[in-house]
């Protein structure tokens, strides 16, 4: 049945029909037989040739192997990820890993690719449990990574590097904040307790001593109250940092009102305040927070500016932004201190700042208010020349 294929049966039937026609028309039996034999042989030769050609034809190439699903997966990850073969060499590395460790890491020993002493042990381990290791200084000196090593079912291992630099910085900031806040509160509290104990003894009988001690105690209690108020204010601003303010604020009248309020508290320096404002400038903001910002910035200019020198406040609209600049002619700030001025409790001169009633949180509050308003803060200063604090805020768009 395999020999008598449909094509061969059809060809033989045609050959037989031709032979019958030859026999019937000229009435010659021998000619008909010759035609039949020759046609059959031709049919068999043709089909055998086709079979031979089909047998000699090269086989179709196999289908391309399916792409490695793991390789596609790691390439889509933002963190650096390495796929390590069973022999310990790097078989795959996504673009983030090649950027961090170098383009040459493919086919290298993974311990050579990740050049860190703390990584060698976990990378050489044959355990099946996922391993976690913290690496400090990989990439840059200050970067911190968490390395996770997981074994796959086929014997390969996946190494993932998770950047923990920001998380570490946030945690360190939180710890420092708690320590600094505790210290700032403990100092005036210890003074209060000491003076109270002294007054409860014989020193309380002397009116002069009692009055002097009570004045100091009042100052320390006021300092604690200001510190707690600033801490609560900073907490409220941080809680609202992702909610855009929605008031339409006319900055000119607001600045003039703050200048008038501060002028009443600086004594003879009220005439040093010079305001040059554009009354038609409006921003989208929070009036309470913007007033607090202006009180802190202009108040600092009075505190650290030399008596008898001007404190200049200017307001201008520049394109889509509003520029508020406050300039004093004080002692100025050394360049190494400027990047840290907006840190909580950071002081250039701790003794002088405390003596002036500062809490160390004023510029930190200013920075958070500017960030909430989607603005920019810049501090420029020269030693012996003074300081200029510039705040850029987006204009109001209805």
Within a domain: 327: yes
Instruction: Establish how many alpha carbons lie within 13 A of residue 105's alpha carbon, considering only the half-sphere containing its beta carbon.
Output: 27
Domain of 216, in residue numbers: 172-239
CA angle (118, 123, 127) in 5-degree steps:
120
Within a domain: 64: no
Q: Which of 241-250, 262-271, 309-318, 359-368 is least confident?
A: 262-271
Do residues 280 and 390 share a domain? yes
Residue 286 and residue 190: Cα distance in Å, rounded? 37
Q: At which of 203, 219, 239 does a domain end?
A: 239
Do residues 255 and 372 share a domain? yes
Do residues 137 and 11 share a domain? no
Q: At which of 196, 220, 239 does a domain end?
A: 239
* Residue 265 reports pLDDT greater than 90: no
Do residues 117 and 213 share a domain? no
Cβ distance 276 to 236 under 8 Å?
no
Residue 25 and residue 375: Cα distance in Å, rounded? 108
Give me the CATH number covering residue 230.
1.10.287.130
* Residue 51 reports pLDDT greater than 80: no
Give me the CATH number covering residue 137.
3.30.450.20
DSSP-based helix, strand, coil % in the chain, nearest 5 = 50, 20, 30
Do residues 127 and 195 share a domain? no
Give me the CATH number covering residue 306.
3.30.565.10
Residue whose tokens read 């390495």: 82
Do residues 281 and 369 share a domain? yes
- pLDDT at site 347: 80
Residue 69 and residue 120: Cα distance in Å, rounded? 28
Do residues 105 and 145 share a domain? yes
Within a domain: 57: no
Cβ distance 391 to 375 under 8 Å?
yes
Give residue-wise pLDDT tens across range 163-221: 998 888 878 877 777 787 787 788 888 888 888 888 887 666 778 888 888 888 888 88
- pLDDT at site 363: 92
Within a domain: 60: no
Do residues 154 and 176 share a domain? no
- Taking residues 231-251, report their average pLDDT: 88
Do residues 33 and 144 share a domain? no
Do residues 374 and 289 share a domain? yes
Count of domains observed in the chain: 4
Do residues 388 and 271 share a domain? yes
SS3 category, 6? helix
């Amino acid at each position: 049945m395999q020999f008598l294929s449909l094509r061969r049966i059809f060809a033989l039937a045609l050959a037989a029909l031709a032979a019958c026609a030859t026999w019937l028309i000229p009435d010659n039996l021998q000619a008909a037989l010759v035609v039949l034999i020759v046609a059959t042989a031709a049919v068999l030769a043709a089909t055998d040739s086709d079979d031979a050609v089909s047998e000699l034809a090269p086989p179709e190439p196999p289908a391309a192997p399916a792409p490695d699903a793991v390789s596609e997966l790691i390439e889509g990850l933002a963190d650096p990820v390495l796929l390590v073969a069973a022999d310990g060499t790097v078989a795959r590395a996504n673009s983030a890993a090649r950027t961090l460790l170098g383009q040459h890491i493919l086919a290298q020993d993974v311990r050579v690719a990740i050049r860190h002493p703390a990584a060698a042990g976990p990378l050489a381990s044959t355990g099946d449990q996922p391993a976690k290791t913290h690496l400090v200084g990989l990439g840059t000196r200050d970067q911190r990574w968490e390395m996770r090593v997981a074994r796959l079912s086929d014997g390969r291992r996946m190494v993932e590097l998770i950047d923990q630099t920001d998380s570490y910085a946030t945690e360190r900031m939180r710890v420092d904040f708690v320590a600094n806040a505790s210290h700032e509160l403990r100092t005036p509290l210890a003074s209060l307790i000491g003076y109270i104990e002294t007054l409860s003894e014989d020193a309380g009988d002397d009116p002069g001593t009692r009055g002097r001690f009570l004045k100091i105690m009042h100052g320390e209690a006021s300092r604690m109250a200001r510190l707690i108020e600033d801490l609560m204010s900073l907490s409220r601003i941080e809680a609202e940092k992702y909610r855009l303010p929605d008031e339409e604020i006319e900055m000119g009248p607001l600045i003039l009102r703050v200048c008038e309020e501060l002028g009443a508290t600086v004594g003879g320096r009220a005439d040093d305040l010079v305001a040059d404002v554009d009354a038609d400038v409006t921003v989208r903001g929070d009036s309470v927070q913007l007033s607090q910002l202006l009180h802190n910035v202009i108040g600092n200019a009075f505190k650290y500016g030399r008596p008898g020198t001007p404190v200049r406040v200017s307001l201008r609209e520049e394109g889509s932004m509003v520029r508020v600049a406050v300039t004093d002619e004080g002692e100025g700030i050394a360049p190494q201190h400027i990047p840290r001025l907006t840190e909580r409790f950071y002081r250039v001169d701790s003794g002088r700042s405390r003596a002036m009633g500062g809490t160390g949180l004023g510029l930190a509050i200013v920075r958070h208010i500017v960030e909430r308003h989607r603005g920019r803060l810049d501090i420029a200063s020269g030693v012996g020349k003074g300081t200029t604090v510039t705040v850029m805020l987006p204009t109001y768009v209805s």
